[in-house]
Structure 1
Amino acid sequence: MIGIVNYGAGNIFSLTSALKRLNIAYGMVNTAEELENYSHIIIPGVGHAGSAMNKLQQTGLVEPIKQLKKPVLGICVGMQLLTQHSEEGDAQMMNIFPLHTRLFDKENNIKIPHMGWNNVHLKNNPLFKDVDNQAQFYFVHSYFIEYNPTFDLATVDYGVQFSAAIQKDNFYGVQFHPEKSGAAGERLLLNFSTLKH
């Protein structure tokens, strides 16, 4: 069963709607003790990374999440929380991945935020099992995770190459919104719900 970290900075409704469509059981995680009730954990997130990190720290869940050995998935700002530092609010994140979250450069002649459907170059990983390599995913973000081949699972080119998905051990992150990405996104959520670690 999936536990959704409920810290007041996530778009819970879209995510829970997708899980219901997939018949994936879920519940809300409000305390460290409740992390034990679930086999898989999702950290959702929308809005400002610095503010989201403050909210997460106030729950007392940061250290317990970092100690988890079960599969954990950060979505959008939830992914950025897994990095070392975000330029959004000049804030220290959870530092699970030694990566930085950076602001897109307007000088690259791109629209900010990066918003809408985008092709994603997928690597072979159980998270993307049976997801078409031509699949598109839905993005809404002004900040991106710097590319690092050690952790990269999927890349996007948008003025700069950045990581659309990352993995380190049992921790995964996706910059796009799988819950808003149609069949490909739902397949990813289904795959995550069956990951073993």
Structure 2
Amino acid sequence: MTTIVDFGDINSKEVAEALKIITNDFIVSSSEVDICRADKVIFPGAGSAKDVMKKIHLLNLFSVLRIIIDKPMLGIGLGMQIMCEYTSEGNLSCLGIFPGSIIGLENSNQSKTHEGFDKVKIIKDCPLFVDIPNESEFYFKHSYFLPVNEFTVATSKGGDREFTSAIQKNLSFGVQFHPEKSGEAGLKLLENFIKL
């Protein structure tokens, strides 16, 4: 069973709708018990890092989300950013599952928001991208990003800046794009995660 962590935002519902096309073996829940019982965990996210971190603490999920890294976990969008060590959005310490700090797009010469479909360049083998052609397009909407680091498995470009569009450390995965809004390629990526 897969648990989609529910923060009460629309992104959890959108991921659930996409997952329905692939499997019925999932639930949407903010329960510590449901997260611990799950075989896999999807950690979606939209909105502000401050709000999501606040909800994580209010729901007593901070330790749970750090401890469950022995099972496959997929962070989506802001969910991936929260899985990193730190974000400059609100100057917050995050879950620390992935190394690196999230920085704002305004630190570069590009627009403050990267939105729309863009190519994802696969630079390392990763089970998420099995049977997905290199440089397939996925949907992005973000104002902050993770610079490329040793765990980056795919990159994308926004303006003049190359950033991490997918990351893997052991059984933990993160994608900056939104597979639930990315058509067939996005569904295939979610299916690959479910099949791990």
TM range (shorter): over 0.9
What root-mean-square deviation, in Å, do the aligned CA atoms of Structure 1 and Structure 2 show?
A: 1.4
Distance (whole Å) between structure 2 residues aligned to residue 192 and residue 183 of structure 1: 14
Output the TM-score relative to the length of structure 2: 0.93
Output the TM-score relative to the length of structure 1: 0.93
Q: Is 2:51 the counterpart of 1:48?
A: no
Q: 1:156 maps to what in 2?
A: 156
Among the aligned pairs, what percent are the same residue?
A: 37
Q: State the aligned residue count.
A: 193
Distance (whole Å) between structure 2 residues aligned to residue 188 and residue 170 of structure 1: 15
Alpha-carbon distance, 1:74 to partner: 0.5
Q: Does the 8 Å contact 1:2/1:24 carry over to 2?
A: no
Identify which range, 113-122 or 25-34, moves more after superposition. 25-34
Distance (whole Å) between structure 2 residues aligned to residue 82 and residue 14 of structure 1: 20
Alignment of 1:1-197 (within 5 A): 1-9=1-9, 11-68=11-68, 69-105=70-106, 108=109, 110-122=110-122, 123-148=124-149, 150-158=150-158, 159-195=160-196
Identify which range, 122-131 or 17-26, moves more after superposition. 17-26
Secondary structure of 1:11's counterpart equals helix
1:21-61 per-residue CA deviation (whole Å, 9 max, x = no partner) reads 12342102322222233211001100111221111111111
Question: Structure 2: which 5+ residue stretches go unaligned?
Answer: none
1:69-126 per-residue CA deviation (whole Å, 9 max, x = no partner) reads 1100000010011011111111111111121010013651x22210000001013211
Letter in 1 for 2:84: T
Question: Structure 1: which 5+ residue stretches go unaligned?
Answer: none
Letter in 2 for 1:92: S
